[in-house]
């Protein structure tokens, strides 16, 4: 059989196209499935927080701390109490020990006061990931920002880069630690420890890639805001009815 | 230039050392960097498994209800219907795995109720709140209120 130069190019071109389609498919589908069939490519995690439902009980902080073995005095999530006085530029903010035991009672009715739960905003365009010099902090294909503790040098670049103050240096491992959005739970069909234990449903884990997730209705029906939108971090934690004084 | 060419050997030796060093560097680099580094981005995919390998502490609502459906039914009809079991009882995945060996302690009622229900101006207006000092004069909350269904 004779193969002309033209045939050779045609066949070669087709093979190249097939190979590239195969490679792209592999990338899109998140490559080989884990044995438990959790597909990273099918999820894009975030959280919605209804500020008006938060009662400042600190259940989330305690749950997070126990679930993830967070060292005492450090927090992956915490609750802030804002007290805004009319005409004053800056609000008063307190968070005694991250609100792990709730708050001392405040009954001053003359202030506008409310609670704001905080955690890693799981930014899609995260400053912490951009500054890591060794590829130790990264965003997973399902949208969770995590730290590779085996690669982290403890240089603290990311701690400084995070505009939300969500990272700390673990006092024992001397590597950076942060909220993993309970990655060990959400990849096994559970919700995060903080969401599981929130008694009022003020915080809720959401999957933006799930068309049935209540997040779509939530974003359509409510006035929502992310923290520090001017930082253009593409944060994925949405706050409902957030006051302008919150930083 | 001519002098340099005459003494070419001074160039060749350091060049050989440089090439050898670069070779060693490349070999070490190939050995140290995992093969799949960069598969999803500038990081090691094994780090995902490392984070995922953490044991679960809170078993989750659905697991508790499997055995304790009587408590769940009682709770479902009351104001605490949407409060998860472990929100008060603590992380009990170990108990769920082996109920006999890991028997949970009952929570401290005084602190538990106060954290949520102590009056605070920052709490949402409709949320039931009391000033504990005035409300119960030191009597334990659960002597009047059933925690699983807390009406009087």
Instruction: Compute the radius of gyration of chain B from its Cα atoms.
Output: 33
- Say yes or no for a CB contact (<8 Å) between A135 and B115: no
CATH T-level fold of A34-247: Alpha-Beta Plaits (3.30.70)
H-assigned helices in A117-227: 127-131, 157-161, 183-186, 193-197, 215-221
pLDDT tens sequence across A27-36: 555 544 445 6
Which DSSP helix (H) or strand (E) runs through A178? none
Residues of B in contact with A108 (CB under 8 A): 121
Cβ separation A200–B43 shorter than 8 A: no
Position A20 scores a pLDDT of 65
Digit-coded pLDDT (tens) for B11-58: 888 999 999 999 999 999 999 999 999 999 999 999 999 999 999 999
Instruction: Give the C-alpha separation, B8 to B152, whole Å.
Output: 100
> Under an 8 A CB cutoff, do B43 and A141 touch?
no
Tens-place pLDDT, residues A55-93: 999 999 999 999 999 999 999 999 999 999 988 888 999
Facing residue for B86 by CB, picked from A52, A135, A196? A196
Whether the predicted pLDDT of B2 surpasses 90: no
Q: What is the pLDDT of residue A33?
A: 46
Q: How many CA atoms lie within 13 A of B66 on its CB side?
A: 11
* Record: contact B122-A53, CB cut-off 8 A: no
Query: How much is the pTM?
Result: 0.85
* B19: Cα within 13 Å, side-chain hemisphere: 6
Asked if pLDDT for residue B133 goes beyond 60, the answer is yes
What ipTM did this prediction achieve? Answer: 0.86
**What is the C-alpha separation between B70 and B65, in angstroms, rounded?**
8
CA distances from residue B30 to A73, A150, B20, B26, B44 in whole angstroms, order as listed: 41, 18, 15, 6, 14
Question: Which chain B residues have a beta carbon less than 8 Å from that of A190?
Answer: 56, 58, 60
Annotated domain spans of chain A: 5-32, 34-247
Q: How many residues does chain B have?
A: 152
Q: Is A147 helix (H, G, I), strand (E, B) or coil?
A: strand
């Amino acid at each position: 059989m004779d193969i002309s130069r033209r045939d050779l190019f045609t066949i070669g071109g087709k093979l190249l196209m097939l190979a590239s389609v195969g490679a792209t498919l592999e990338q899109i589908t998140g490559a080989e499935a884990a044995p438990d069939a959790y597909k990273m490519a099918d999820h894009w995690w975030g959280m919605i927080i209804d500020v008006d439902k938060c009662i400042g009980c600190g259940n989330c902080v305690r749950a997070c701390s126990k679930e993830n073995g967070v060292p005492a005095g450090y927090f992956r999530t915490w609750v802030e109490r804002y007290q805004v006085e009319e005409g004053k530029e800056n609000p008063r903010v307190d968070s005694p020990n991250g609100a792990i035991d709730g708050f001392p009672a405040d009954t001053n009715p003359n202030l506008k006061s409310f609670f704001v739960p905080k955690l890693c905003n799981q930014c899609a365009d995260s400053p912490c990931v951009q500054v890591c010099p060794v590829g130790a902090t990264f965003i997973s294909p399902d949208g969770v920002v995590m730290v590779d503790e085996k690669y982290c040098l403890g240089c603290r670049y990311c701690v400084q880069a995070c505009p939300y103050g969500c990272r700390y240096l673990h006092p024992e491992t001397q590597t950076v630690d942060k909220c993993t959005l309970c990655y060990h739970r959400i990849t096994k069909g559970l919700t995060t420890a903080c969401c599981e234990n929130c008694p009022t449903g003020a915080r809720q884990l959401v999957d933006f890639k799930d068309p049935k997730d209540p997040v779509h209705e939530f974003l359509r029906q409510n006035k929502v805001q992310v923290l520090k939108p001017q930082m253009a971090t593409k944060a994925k934690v949405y706050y409902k009815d957030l006051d302008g004084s919150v930083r | 230039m001519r002098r340099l060419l005459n003494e070419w050997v001074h160039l060749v030796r350091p060049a050989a050392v440089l090439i050898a060093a670069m070779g060693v560097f490349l070999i070490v680099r190939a050995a140290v960097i995992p093969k799949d580094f960069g598969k999803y981005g500038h990081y090691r995919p094994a780090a995902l498994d490392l984070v995922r390998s953490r044991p679960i502490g809170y078993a989750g609502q659905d697991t508790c209800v499997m055995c304790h459906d009587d408590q769940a039914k009682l709770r479902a009809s009351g104001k605490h219907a949407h409060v998860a079991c472990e929100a008060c009882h603590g992380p009990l995945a170990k108990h769920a795995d082996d109920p006999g060996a890991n028997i949970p302690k009952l929570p401290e009622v005084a602190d538990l109720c106060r954290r949520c229900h102590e009056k605070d101006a920052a709490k949402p207006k409709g949320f039931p709140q009391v000033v504990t000092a005035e409300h119960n004069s030191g009597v334990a909350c659960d002597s009047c209120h059933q925690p699983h269904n807390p009406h009087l």
